[in-house]
């Protein structure tokens, strides 16, 4: 990307803090953005930097998507931002064909529960195409998936289907938890020559945070220690990271030191910071909104136990959604892990 693109013109006109949208620091290239607007800015940057980048999805054009992540992009980039029929299999299938012709399509799945009509295309075609052609056919396709609960939605609009795709070789899976990561990770995902499942925590879309438009410290598949501690390691991704930070803050007031790790990448998983942390604390709690059976927490627990069995002072514990379909909105606070459930697991780990 050219030097002149580093500080985009749109950033100069960002409104001041307090209107719920964005603010810009006068002397730096750090802006305050909600996560949804950070994604919008990252997509705009990718579209401006490469004419082969295309956006596809249901209602992503004039409407800007259900969550307004693509708001204004069709007006700026025209036919490269395409409204599609309500057909997830068709969206992904078309993206596969476009990728074979040298384009970099970014597909929006409107809600997490709508991804399953496209599941066959993703797992049997998109994930396998490069291997089938011995590396000579690349699949630079990004599939954006708003996922998770805490928005009071109805059936099929609140799911956490990450494990289905983490189990599929050939796919990369990532999930940002902050606006800064959202801005940079969407650009890195689009630049990847492999297919990337990009899971966006929809409950965090409207939460603001600083975004450095010029500097990014972490690569796409790096996990990150976001709070240091000495007694227990807790790990999660997406919206769960904020829950873990809340739990760590409460625990500190009670005299317990918790280290928090943001996975960021779900496949591959960057284990080194996680293993180093567990070697230090001797205890690990893993949190996820998805059901616990055959889940990402299951895989992480098994791997850490295999590699650090003699460093563990307690069993690895998991705090997850229940092994049941996602409940009606009035019951979601019971189903989803919160700070209290995380702290209960921390207490159990410390009791050993």
pLDDT in tens, 203-232: 999 999 999 999 998 999 999 999 999 999
Report the distance separating Cα 308 and Cα 325, nearest Å: 34
What pLDDT band is residue 4 in, cutting at 50, 70 and 90?
very low
Report pLDDT for 155. Answer: 75
Residue 180 has pLDDT above 90, yes or no: yes
Residue 1: pLDDT band (50, 70, 90) is very low
Terminal-residue alpha carbon distance, the chain: 53
Per-residue pLDDT at 7: 33
Give the catalytic positions in this structure: 157
Q: What is the pLDDT at residue 28?
A: 65
Query: CA-to-CA distance for 31 and 14, rounded, in angstroms?
Result: 9
Q: What percent of the chain has pLDDT over 90?
A: 83
Six-digit token string for 243: 């829950």
Question: How many angstroms separate the CA atoms of 208 and 316, rounded?
Answer: 33
Q: For the chain, what percent of residues have pLDDT higher than 70?
A: 91
Residue 135, token pair as written in the block: 């590396």
| CA pair distance 199, 228, nearest whole angstrom | 25
pLDDT in the model for residue 18: 35
* 321 backbone dihedrals φ, ψ, rounded to 5°: -65, 165
Q: How far apart are CA 72 and CA 69, in angstroms?
A: 9
**What is the C-alpha to C-alpha distance for residues 169 and 227, in angstroms, rounded to an integer?**
31
Mean pLDDT, all residues of the chain: 91
Mean pLDDT of 254-279: 98
Q: Are 269 and 300 in contact (CB under 8 A)?
A: yes
3-class secondary-structure state, position 34: strand
The full set of domains in the chain, from first to last, is 3-212 (3.40.50.970), 224-351 (3.40.50.920)
- Give the pLDDT confidence score for residue 179 in this predicted structure: 98
Q: Each residue of 19-77: pLDDT tens digit?
A: 344 455 444 689 999 999 999 999 999 999 999 999 999 999 999 999 999 999 999 99
Is the pLDDT confidence value at 349 over 60? yes
Q: Do the bridges between strand 30-34 and strand 208-212 make them parallel or antiparallel, or are there none, so unpaired? A: antiparallel
Query: pLDDT value at position 148?
Result: 87
pTM, two decimal places: 0.90
Q: Looking at residue 288, what is its pLDDT?
A: 96
CA dist., res. 38 & res. 36, Å (int): 5
CA nearest to 284, candidates 294, 271, 295: 271
Decide if 71 contacts 64 (C-beta within 8 A): yes
Cα gap 4→12, rounded to integer Å: 13
Convert the pLDDT of each residue in 152-174 to its tens digit.
776 777 889 999 999 999 999 99
pLDDT higher than 60, residue 6: no
């Amino acid at each position: 990307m050219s030097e002149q693109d580093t500080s985009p013109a749109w950033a100069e006109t960002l409104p001041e803090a307090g209107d719920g949208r964005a603010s810009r620091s006068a002397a730096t290239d750090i802006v305050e953005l909600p996560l949804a607007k950070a994604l919008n800015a990252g997509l705009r940057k990718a579209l401006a930097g490469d004419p082969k980048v295309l956006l596809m999805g249901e209602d992503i054009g004039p409407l800007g998507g259900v969550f307004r992540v693509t708001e204004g992009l069709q007006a700026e980039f025209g036919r490269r931002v395409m409204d599609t029929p309500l057909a997830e299999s068709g969206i992904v299938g078309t993206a596969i064909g476009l990728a074979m012709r040298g384009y970099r399509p970014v597909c929006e799945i409107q809600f997490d529960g709508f991804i399953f009509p496209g599941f066959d295309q993703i797992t049997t075609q998109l994930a396998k195409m490069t291997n089938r052609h011995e590396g000579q056919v690349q699949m630079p396709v990004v599939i954006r998936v708003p996922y998770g609960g805490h928005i009071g939605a109805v059936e099929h609009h609140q799911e956490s289907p990450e494990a289905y795709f983490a189990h599929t070789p050939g796919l990369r899976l990532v999930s940002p938890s902050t606006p800064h990561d959202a801005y940079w990770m969407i650009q890195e995902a689009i630049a990847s020559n492999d297919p990337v499942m990009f899971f966006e925590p929809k409950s965090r879309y409207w939460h603001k945070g600083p975004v450095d438009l010029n500097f990014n410290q972490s690569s796409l598949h790096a996990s990150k220690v976001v709070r240091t501690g000495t007694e227990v390691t807790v790990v999660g991704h997406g919206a769960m990271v904020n829950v873990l930070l809340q739990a760590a803050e409460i625990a500190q007031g009670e005299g317990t030191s918790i280290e928090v790790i943001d996975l960021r990448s779900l496949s591959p998983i960057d284990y080194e910071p996680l293993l180093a942390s567990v070697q230090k604390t001797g205890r690990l709690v893993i949190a996820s909104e998805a059901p616990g059976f055959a889940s990402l927490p299951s895989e992480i627990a098994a791997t850490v136990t295999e590699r650090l069995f003699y460093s563990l002072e307690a069993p690895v514990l998991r705090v997850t959604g229940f092994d049941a379909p996602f409940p009606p909105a009035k019951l979601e606070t019971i189903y989803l892990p919160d700070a209290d459930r995380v702290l209960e697991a921390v207490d159990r780990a410390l009791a050993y």
